[in-house]
Structure 1
Amino acid sequence: MVISMRVNRELQGELVARAGCGLPWETTLANLDRVAFPLLGALDPVGDAVFNHRQIPALLGELDRLPAERGGAWVAEVRALCEVALRRPHHYLLFLGD
């Protein structure tokens, strides 16, 4: 299962940016330690998750600590989307499961 990633202005509003790749959940976040990675570990391949400007710095911190074998192109995409979401108020980073 692949989770898509995007930034919206407002929760149900305009699409501002979209990741070119998806997040391959099985090879990256499945069985991730939820205590060490509470935000990434809470992502669900069939559910949706939303991060606001106050949560994004913590998410970036988790990406910094993520083991290399769980990384990939999706990490750079998430970082770029975080930058977009942090630039303006009322922008949200969304992870959308299947």
Structure 2
Amino acid sequence: MQVRGDQGDLVASTRAGVEWTDALAELDPAAFPMLTALIPYGDAMFNHRQVPLLLTELDRLPDACGGAWAVQAREMCQVVLNGPHRYLWFLGD
């Protein structure tokens, strides 16, 4: 995960990656539209208007889908919200 600015400048990063599990892959897109945008092989970007929705989904994420990545995703969301023109990137393989 990375937080980048408008020009692609790196603001913050974490080493934790999303722990891909069957439970995560089976999340209901209607209930978790932000998290179901994540795919293991592609990038996903969230802007400052999407991050609060992502935080809400992370707060109600089933235990089987959580882990260190979810904790660090919350931290990266706060970095986005604490400054202008920031974006949260999930980088796929």
Q: Same fold (TM over 0.5)?
A: yes
Per-residue deviation, 1:13? 1.5
Q: Which runs of 5+ in 2 are unaligned?
A: none
1:79 pairs with one of 64, 74, 77: 74
C-alpha distance in structure 2 between counterparts of 1:68 and 1:34, whole Å: 17
Q: Which residue of 1 is the match for residue 91 of structure 2?
A: 96
Per-residue deviation, 1:20? 2.4
Aligned length: 93
**More strand by percentage:** 1
Q: Which residue of 2 is the match for residue 24 of structure 1?
A: 19
Q: Which residue of 1 is the match for residue 40 of structure 2?
A: 45
Q: Is the 8 A contact 1:28 1:71 kept in 2?
A: no
- Percent identity, please: 57
Per-residue deviation, 1:27? 5.1
Q: Give a deviation string over 1:43-88, Cα, whole Å, max 9, x none.
A: 1111111101110000000011111121100111001100111111
CA, structure 1 residues 28+88, in 2 after alignment: closer, same or farther (shift >3 Å)? farther
Q: Which residue of 2 is the match for residue 58 of structure 1?
A: 53
CA, structure 1 residues 82+29, in 2 after alignment: closer, same or farther (shift >3 Å)? same
Q: Is the 8 A contact 2:21 2:65 kept in 1?
A: no
Per-residue deviation, 1:28? 5.4
Per-residue deviation, 1:6? 0.7
Q: Which residue of 2 is the match for residue 6 of structure 1?
A: 2
- TM superposition score normalised by structure 1: 0.87
